[in-house]
Structures are given as structure tokens and as C-alpha cells.
Amino acid sequence: MDAQLRSVCFWIAAFGGATALAAIFFSPVKLILFPATLFVAGTATLLFLRMLFSRAYRQGVDNANQEMQGSDPWPGRPKKLLDPDWGLLGRQAGSPALLWLRAILVLGILPLALLQNWIGLDVVLLWFASAFVSMELSIMHLALSQRG
């Protein structure tokens, strides 16, 4: 059941990103931006609540935090962006498809935010909601793999 939820949410995040990109180039797509944003943001809320109220996810995140800090003498020091385990494309946080989707959506936030005056805020909001879903999916994957 949980794997199906994560699979559907992956495709919802991909749909949101593709719709946001399509709206930049094809103005008729802008008609569905608001409902699509509500749908993707609702999905993000559902995933957040699922992680918040699930003991397994909370325990997995705690275990991942312990493993990520390890025996580092400076535990507050962040990991590198390109770290092979914990970075943007790190193998701890999802399947290759999820890693690439998350990387594209997260790295695309800044350029779209800078261009929001030309492309519209509604495109940026949909893109951001999709990126948030992909980040939550990575956290869910990480938590389930670290549940131990």
C-alpha cells in the first residue's frame, strides 16, 4: 500500500513539473495551473501528514540522522551537495528516477523564481509544490530504508 502511494505521488510530482514547464511555452495550459497546484499541494500535505503521524517514518528519519552524523567531530556540519550517499543524487534517498526528478525540480526552483515576473507566479508555485513532493518522497524512502 505504501509503495503504491509513493509511486502515485512520484507521478503527481512529475505531472506538476511537466505542467509548469508546458505552461511557460503553451498559454492554454495556464488554465489548469491553479487546479493542478491545489492538487499537487494537497498531495504534499497528505505526504507530510503521513510522515508526521507514522511511527515508522519518524523512527527511520531518526536513524538516518544518526547515520548521517556518524562519528563526525563537528556534527552540525552539513554534507556536501555532491556527497555520494547524502547529496542531491545520493543513493540513500531514492531510486534513480526519483533522484533525477528531485534534482531537476529542486535545481529548477531558483531559475523559475528569478523569472517569475515573466512566466507568472502560478507556474513557480506549481513547480515548488512538485519539488516539495519529490523531497518528501526522498525522505520517505530514506526513512523506510533506515528503519532497521
Separation between Cα atoms, residue 5 and residue 132, nearest integer Å: 16
- Indicate if the alpha-carbon torsion angle 53, 48, 87, 92 is positive or negative: positive
Q: How long a stretch of residues is the chain? A: 148
Domain-by-domain residue ranges, the chain?
7-60+83-146
Structure pTM? 0.84
Place of cell 556540519: 77
Q: Report the SS3 class of residue 94.
A: coil
Separation between Cα atoms, residue 120 and residue 66, nearest integer Å: 41
What tens-digit pLDDT sequence spans the chain (148 residues)?
678 988 999 999 999 999 999 999 998 999 999 999 999 999 999 999 998 898 888 888 787 777 766 666 665 565 665 666 666 566 666 788 988 899 899 999 999 989 999 998 999 999 999 999 999 998 888 887 765 5
* Pick from 83, 49, 89, 50: nearest CA to 67: 83
